[in-house]
Amino acid sequence: MPKTARLAATLTLTAAAVCGPLAGPALAAPEPAAKGLYAPSALVLTVGHGETSATVTPERAVTLSCAPRPAGTHPAPADACAELRDSGGDFEALSRSAGAMCTKQFDPVIVTVHGVWQGKRVAYERTFANECVKDSAASVLYAF
C-alpha cells in the first residue's frame, strides 16, 4: 500500500473514531432542561452587630428555601415563607416595629437577606438600633 493511501486510511479511521461515522442517523439534540413548577426561592439571612454591612462580621446565618416546600436552617421556615408570600416579598414591610418598648441604647444590629425570591435576585439590608428593636419587628423572618 503506498504511503499516501496509508495516510488517507489512517486519517479516515481517526476521523471516524473521533467524530463518529460519516453516514448514519443524526444525533438528537439534547432535551432542554425542564422548567420546575415553582419559581426558585432560596435566601441566606445574616445578622451581626455594627454600623455597616460592609464592616460587620455575621454572628448568625440561616438559609431559607420556600419552593417547592419550606425548608432550610431557619428556625421557622414555614412561617417565614408564609410571611414573605403574604407581603409579596416586601422585606421592608416585615421590618416594621410592632411597637415594643425598647431602650434608646444605640448598638446597631444589621440583618441582610441575599438570594432569589420567586425567581428574582434580591439583596436587602436593614439596620436596627439595637437587638430589642430587631426582635420587636413584626416578623418571624428576622427571628433567628
Q: From 2.30.130.30, 3.30.350.10, 3.90.950.10, 3.30.70.1290, which CATH number describes the 42-135 domain?
A: 3.30.350.10
- 5 band by pLDDT with thresholds 50, 70 and 90: very low
Rounded Cα–Cα distance for residues 10 and 120 (Å): 54
Strand runs labelled E in the chain? 42-49, 60-65, 109-117, 120-128
Mean pLDDT of the chain: 79
**Beta sheet of 60-65, edge-to-edge order:** 60-65, 42-49, 109-117, 120-128
Domains in the chain: boundaries: 42-135
- Is it the case that residue 144 has pLDDT exceeding 60? yes
Q: Which residues pair with 113 in a beta bridge?
A: 45, 124
